Structure 1
Amino acid sequence: MYLDPIIKCMANTAVRLANEFCLEVSGEAQLALASLADSQYTDVSAYLSSAEFALRRQLLVSARRDSACLAEMGEKRSRLLRLLQRQSDLEFAELESLSNDRERYLMDALAAYCHCLIVSDQFNIKVGQRFDLYEIRYYDYLKCFTIIYFRTTNLATLHLFSDYLTIFG
């Protein structure tokens, strides 16, 4: 809820700060933003792997099976069937939204961590440790490496990410 406005504000502020040569402050702010997105990603990931979520998904599958069975029996105008279908559609949309939010939080955290690496070398160790904790797919590393490659001339940062690409590739 608060993350999107912060990201938009940081994007505008990062440009302004870069023009004023206050890159270190921008890097620290991006690190704080990355930590926020990272914690959101961690929380949503924990919920998606919880027993409560598994039960919720199982109930959704059961409700969809029941509504299909009722529809086959010719109960198409049944109030119960319409209610069951509407409720299961809402639940399914919410579960999809959670998965999409998880992916978005991950990409926001990656982008903010990449910005930290672009801005200064002082964040390399913190960000490198954080990337080790992620279970990130190869294309996410590749996307991050591409962002860094086109925005920095920092060879140490490029070397750090090329090492990650060879390890996880």
Structure 2
Amino acid sequence: MLVELGDFYGGERRKLLVRLAVPGIATLGLATVAEITLTCFATQSLTTYTAALPITVNVVPGNEAAGRIPDPVVRAERLLQDVQDAKRQASDALIEGDVDRAMHLLTSSALTVKEAISWAPNCDELAREAEELGLYAARARSDTNRVSKTMRASWHTSNRKRGRTNE
């Protein structure tokens, strides 16, 4: 699969959230489940650089795996991506005239985000998302077209800026 990350600028960092389906692995210990190859082109020197990064997992017995706690930073990042997806789906539902489906997506996402505020490291960002989802839900029945367009714009902007930081 090829994913273009767009232009990078000096000092910029990006987060990349990848969801992988990992098959059952029979042997214990480190196992490589994927490899990410990054290729970039430096315009000043007209040089192409490539780096390969193995993605590994530590396979442990089932009873040991059951006690592991998922990384809260990764969980919160995935939740924020799920919220953006819910906005897009709710926007699509409003365009199709399915206000009830849009309301369900918005209210259930808002509830999930509010529950995550207690454990997530980026609780301020989650609180803003919960507030935004609540506003969309409150206006979805009375101003369907505008809410749909606003959610689509929010989804687009959030996905383009998500994971970018400047040092």
TM-score with structure 2 setting the length: 0.34
More helix by share: 1
Structure whose CA Rg is larger: 1
